[in-house]
Chains A and B, each alone.
Chain A
Amino acid sequence: MASISAAIPALPRKYHAASIWALYVIGLCPAAWYFYQAATGGLGFNPVKEFEHLLGIWALRLIIATLAITPLRDLFGINWVRYRRALGLLAFYYVLMHFSVYLLLDLQLNFAAVGGDIARRPYITIGFAALLCLIPLAVTSNNWSIRKMGQGWIRLHKVVYLIAIGGAIHYVLAVKSVTSGPFAHIALIGILVAYRLFRRPLLNWKRGRRQPAQLAR
C-alpha cells in the first residue's frame, strides 16, 4: 500500500497554496468551456438542457472527488486533504450554476413552474434539498469556522454523505434509463458513502496488524 504513495512524488510544501488555487481555476474550466460551446452553437440543438445536464454531472464528479480524499489517505497513503475544501466548494459552485441555468435559461424565471417542480417532482425536490444543504457547508468552509465550531463542524460536514446520496437519486430519477454513464457515477457515490460504514473497523484492524510488530521490537 505504502508503495503507491511512494510512487507519487511529493509536492514541495511551498507549492501547496499555488496548487490549490490552480485546482480552483482548472475546476471551473469545464463550466467555462461548456458555456462558450453552448453560446456558440457547439452543444447541439438543445444547448440549455445540455449545459444544464453537464453542470449537474460535473457537480456529481466533484462530490465524488471530495468523498475520495479520505479513502485515498486511509488505503493508499496519499494525503490530498489540502484539496478537499476546494473540491467541495467547486461542487457547490457547479450545483449553484446547474440550478441557475434551470431557473434562468430553462424555465426563464417562471417562478410558478419552478415552485410546482420543486413541490411535485421528487427528483427536483431532492435536488433542491441537496442544494439547500450544501449552503451551510459552503459557508463554513474556512479555517475560522473550523476553529470556532470545533466538533460541531465535523458533525455538520457529515451532511455531505446525505447530499451525495441525494445527488445520486436525483440523477437516477432524472434519466429515462440508467445506462453506463449514470451507473458509474451512482456506483462510485454508493461505494464511497458505504466506505464510511467500514472505515472504523478497517482502521482498527490495520492498527491491530501493526501492533505486534511494534511489540516485538
Chain B
Amino acid sequence: MPAYRPPHISPSEITPKDIYLSRRSFIGAAAAAGFGLAAGGEAWAAPLSAAPGPYKLNEKLTPKEAVTTYNNFYEFGVNKEDPSQNSGAFKPTPWSVKVEGMVGKPKEFGLDEILKMKLEDRTYRMRCVEGWSMVIPWIGFPLSAILDQVEPLGSAKYVAFETVVRPEEMPGQGGLFQPLPWPYIEGLRMDEARHPLTILAVGLYGETLPNQNGAPIRLVVPWKYGFKSIKSIVKIKLVEEQPQTTWKNSNAREYGFYSNVNPAVDHPRWSQATEQRIGEGGFFGTKRVDTLPFNGYANDVASLYSGMDLKANY
C-alpha cells in the first residue's frame, strides 16, 4: 500500500467556505420561499473532520458544485439535476442501519455511533456506467470496520445492501412511471466488501453527505461502476448466496453483478473505452480520458478476480 502523501490541491481550486455557505443560505431561502419548506437537507450539512487515509490520488478534484448537482439517484428523479432539486424534504436524521443475517451479533447502528467511527479522507475516482467520471473527496471508513463488529459467520459469502423507501420524501419513488422497483438493492462478494478500498461514506468535501449524494450513509466501491455504490443505506445483510441487485434485475444482459470498470468490455449499447470528466473542459472542449481497468485500481483489486473470465462476469 502506498504511503500517504497529502493531495496537491491548489487553494485556488477550493471554493472558499463563506462563498458556498452564502450559496447554501440563498438556496435554503429560495426553497423556503418557493415551497414553504424549511430546507431540511441543507440544515444537516455540518463540518466533518477526518484523518488522512490511505490511497492518495494526484488528480484534479471535480468541483463541489458538480459533485452535488450532477447526480444519478433515481429515488429523486431520473434527470441529473433532479436529486439536488427534489431532495429538500428528505430527512437524513434520525437514521440507523441494521446489520443482520449470517452474523454472530446482529446490530442496529445509530447515526451518532456511525459518525464516531474512525473517519478518513478518501479521494477516489468515480466512473459511471454511462461514460462519465469524477474525482471526489469522500469522508468515510472501511466497510470492514462495521462487518468486524457483527462477527460474520463462516457461511456468509456475500453482503446485500438496501436503500431506504420513503415515497413521501423521495418523489422519484412515487408516480405513474417508476424507473426501477424499490427498494434499490445492491451486493458485494465478501472479499470485495472487506477490501480496504471499500468504504461507507458519510461525507464529502469536508462536510456530511448532501441528500442528493446519498445522505446520511452510502457505499463507495471505486473500482466498480457508480451504480454499485448504493446510497442512503438502511440495511446490510450477510448472506450465503449471491444477492439480487437492482440494475441486474432490471436488465441482466446490460448490467452484471460484478460491474467492475472495464474499458475492454463494452456496454451493449455504448462503448466503455473512454470517459468524460465532468466539470472540466466545458461546452466547446469536452474532456475525454481513457478508462482504466478497474478504474485505475487494478494493482489493488485485480487479484480478487484472478482466474475469472471478466467478459463473462461483467
- List A residues at the B interface (Cβ < 8 Å): 38-39, 41, 43-51, 105-106, 108, 113, 116-117, 120-123, 173-174, 176-180, 183
Give complex CA distance A48, B278 in Å.
11
CB pair A121–B270 under 8 Å, yes or no, is yes
- List B residues at the A interface (Cβ < 8 Å): 65-66, 69-70, 74, 78, 80-81, 130, 132, 175-177, 179-180, 250, 266, 269-271, 276, 278-279, 282-284, 286, 288
CB pair B78–A179 under 8 Å, yes or no, is yes
Give complex CA distance A63, B74 in Å.
29
CB pair A44–B81 under 8 Å, yes or no, is yes
CB pair B132–A46 under 8 Å, yes or no, is yes
Chain B residues with CB under 8 Å of A39's CB are 283-284
B277 to chain A, nearest CB (A): 10
Chain B residues with CB under 8 Å of A116's CB are 271
B134 to chain A, nearest CB (A): 9
CB pair A123–B283 under 8 Å, yes or no, is no
Give complex CA distance A173, B175 in Å.
23
Chain A residues with CB under 8 Å of B286's CB are 48, 105-106, 108
A39 to chain B, nearest CB (A): 5
Main secondary structure of the interface of B (DSSP, over half): loop
Give complex CA distance A183, B286 in Å.
30
Give complex CA distance A183, B178 in Å.
12
Chain A residues with CB under 8 Å of B282's CB are 41, 47
Tell me the number of A-to-B contacts counted with CB atoms below 8 Å.
62
Q: Which residue of chain B has the shortest Cβ distance to A47 in the bound complex? A: B283
CB pair A177–B180 under 8 Å, yes or no, is yes
Chain A residues with CB under 8 Å of B80's CB are 44-46, 50
CB pair B81–A121 under 8 Å, yes or no, is no
Given contacts A45-B279, A47-B282, contact A180 B269 (CB under 8 A): no
CB pair B283–A38 under 8 Å, yes or no, is yes
CB pair B269–A174 under 8 Å, yes or no, is yes
Chain B residues with CB under 8 Å of A178's CB are 177
CB pair A176–B130 under 8 Å, yes or no, is yes
Chain A residues with CB under 8 Å of B284's CB are 39, 105
Chain B residues with CB under 8 Å of A38's CB are 283
CB pair A180–B175 under 8 Å, yes or no, is yes
Give complex CA distance A141, B276 in Å.
39
A21 to chain B, nearest CB (A): 30
CB pair A173–B269 under 8 Å, yes or no, is yes
Chain B residues with CB under 8 Å of A44's CB are 69-70, 80-81
Given contacts A113-B271, A117-B271, A122-B269, contact A48 B283 (CB under 8 A): yes
Chain B residues with CB under 8 Å of A120's CB are 266
Contact of A45 among B69, B177, B179 (CB under 8 A): B69
Given contacts A44-B69, A123-B269, contact A177 B283 (CB under 8 A): no
Chain A residues with CB under 8 Å of B65's CB are 45
Q: Which residue of chain B has the shortest Cβ distance to A177 in the bound complex? A: B179
Chain B residues with CB under 8 Å of A41's CB are 282
Give complex CA distance A149, B70 in Å.
51
Q: Which residue of chain A has the shortest Cβ distance to B284 in the bound complex? A: A105
Give complex CA distance A42, B104 in Å.
53
CB pair A183–B177 under 8 Å, yes or no, is yes
Chain A residues with CB under 8 Å of B270's CB are 117, 121
For A44, A117, A120, A183, the residue with the greatest tally of chain B CB atoms inside 10 Å of its CB is A44
Q: Which residue of chain A has the shortest Cβ distance to B78 in the bound complex? A: A179
CB pair A179–B177 under 8 Å, yes or no, is yes
For A39, A45, A105, A106, the residue with the greatest tally of chain B CB atoms inside 10 Å of its CB is A45
B280 to chain A, nearest CB (A): 9
A164 to chain B, nearest CB (A): 21
CB pair A45–B278 under 8 Å, yes or no, is yes
Chain B residues with CB under 8 Å of A51's CB are 283
Q: Which residue of chain A has the shortest Cβ distance to B134 in the bound complex? A: A45
A57 to chain B, nearest CB (A): 12
18 A-B residue pairs with CB within 8 Å: A38-B283, A44-B80, A45-B66, A45-B80, A45-B278, A46-B278, A48-B286, A108-B288, A117-B270, A117-B271, A120-B266, A176-B130, A176-B179, A177-B250, A179-B78, A179-B177, A180-B175, A180-B176
Chain B residues with CB under 8 Å of A173's CB are 269
Give complex CA distance A45, B179 in Å.
23
CB pair B279–A180 under 8 Å, yes or no, is no
Q: Which residue of chain B has the shortest Cβ distance to A113 in the bound complex? A: B271
Chain A residues with CB under 8 Å of B180's CB are 177
Contact of A180 among B177, B266, B278, B288 (CB under 8 A): B177
